[in-house]
Amino acid sequence: MSIPSLGPVSETERWIGAKNHQSYLVDNALKQFDFFRPSLQDKAGFHVLAQDGAVLDSTVQELHTTTRMVHSFALGKIAGVENCDEMIDQGMRYLFSHHRDREHGGFIWALDGDQVHDDRKLAYGHVFTLLAGASAQAVGHPDGTKLIDDVDAVLDRHFWEEDHGLFCDEWNRDWTPFSKYRGMNANMHGTEALLSAYEITGREKYLDRAGRILGFFLGKVAPSENWRLPEHYSESWAIDRGYSGDPMFRPAGTTPGHSFELARLLLQYWDLKGRPDDGSLHTARQLTYRALQDAWDEQKGGLVYTLNFDGTPAISDRYWWPVTEAIGVLAALLKCDPQPSDEVWYRKLWIFADQHFVDHDRGGWFPEVDDNGQPTATQFQGKPDIYHSIQAVLFPLTAGISNAYSGLEGRLKS
């Protein structure tokens, strides 16, 4: 189904509630689940799939891909998709049989078959483990609560810095110091996991910690940085403007895709708090529109990957996930405080995604496009995972901006 052309914006013509757009989202979601289901291996873990769905030779499995698979297929099960249990069960077994470190506790970052490939203990991976536990519990998996409690204890003991109200980043396998690096990314996904865990368990600790993280980055840092968010920090949580790590996973400067994610998470937190008159809507809009204006490529379309601190493009490559996150926050804004500009951007992003990232023939989304807007493979092997792209189609299908687990019930039922 093709997306309708960009037309006049009016109350009755918003895409997010239009039947043809909702049908498009349902169709896209079902094709994604169909594409990724062959990731299931006969042995432990998951295959990595090529863009055409073939199994790649890579046997390295990282903690975030295991946990995201559990989370995504749990959302699918809630939404009424058939045959999700095998994927959820496989991921949960692998978390306990392979990622779980029986000697030192916590969860190992990467395995290659039965061998440890990268033994670091990363906050980024542990917060996704909390997310997987919450999603597993949401669908009644018998080990959901066990996983939540297990990783919660690890986060408390090794990662949460009470004085700062933030997560530190990384340790060696035996919990000796690995570095003094501090970063926004793990805290952003930590907020995502904390809010989900709160929705499932009702534990106030999770909501309080999410609020403290959001307060630091969006209440303190963002306003002082013209609504851009530096990625990297010192041990004392001062901005480290000179830091430049892995150009894909720890690039210098700012990453507009993370602004979209944090803006959406702020709206989720605000909703869970009862929508107080505390400026959250203003903050979410400032953050979202600063990133859209800085990152949108007027000549080629799409969103550039990273920006310098002044908002000029740094890494101009165009990936799928910033577009999915921009769709997510605009969907949230359209639900709680719709403005004409939200509709314009929502349509613009979906048109670009549909024409360049969505694989209409096989399902799933291509992870990157070249200068001509054609799928390419310079940074990513195959289609990395379902997590970003499935949420881009599920967020607009839910009625609210929080409690996504119950808001999804039956939306994809055939």
Positions annotated as catalytic residues are: 258, 388
**Radius of gyration (Cα) for the chain, nearest Å?**
20
Q: Cα–Cα distance between 194 and 129 in angstroms, integer?
A: 11
Q: Cα–Cα distance between 376 and 411 in angstroms, integer?
A: 32
Spatial CA neighbour of 62 closest among 98, 101, 104, 103: 98
Question: With contact defined as beta carbons under 8 Å apart, do 228 and 254 qualify?
Answer: yes
Q: Cα–Cα distance between 161 and 155 in angstroms, integer?
A: 10
Q: Cα–Cα distance between 85 and 308 in angstroms, integer?
A: 43
Q: Cα–Cα distance between 383 and 325 in angstroms, integer?
A: 17
Helix, strand, or coil (residue 369): strand
Q: How far is CA 326 from CA 27, 49, 242, 345, 356, in A?
A: 20, 25, 27, 9, 16
DSSP string computed for 146-201: HHHHHHHHHIIIIIEETTTTEE--EE-TTS-B----EEHHHHHHHHHHHHHHHHHH
Q: Any idea what DSSP says for residue 247?
A: T
Spatial CA neighbour of 255 closest among 329, 314, 203, 207: 314
The first and second tokens of residue 197, run together, are 């865990």
What residues have CB less than 8 Å from 70, skipping those under 6 apart? 87, 88, 91, 92, 95, 132, 135, 136
Q: Cα–Cα distance between 37 and 146 in angstroms, integer?
A: 25
Question: With contact defined as beta carbons under 8 Å apart, do 385 and 128 qualify?
Answer: no
The first and second tokens of residue 236, run together, are 């004392």
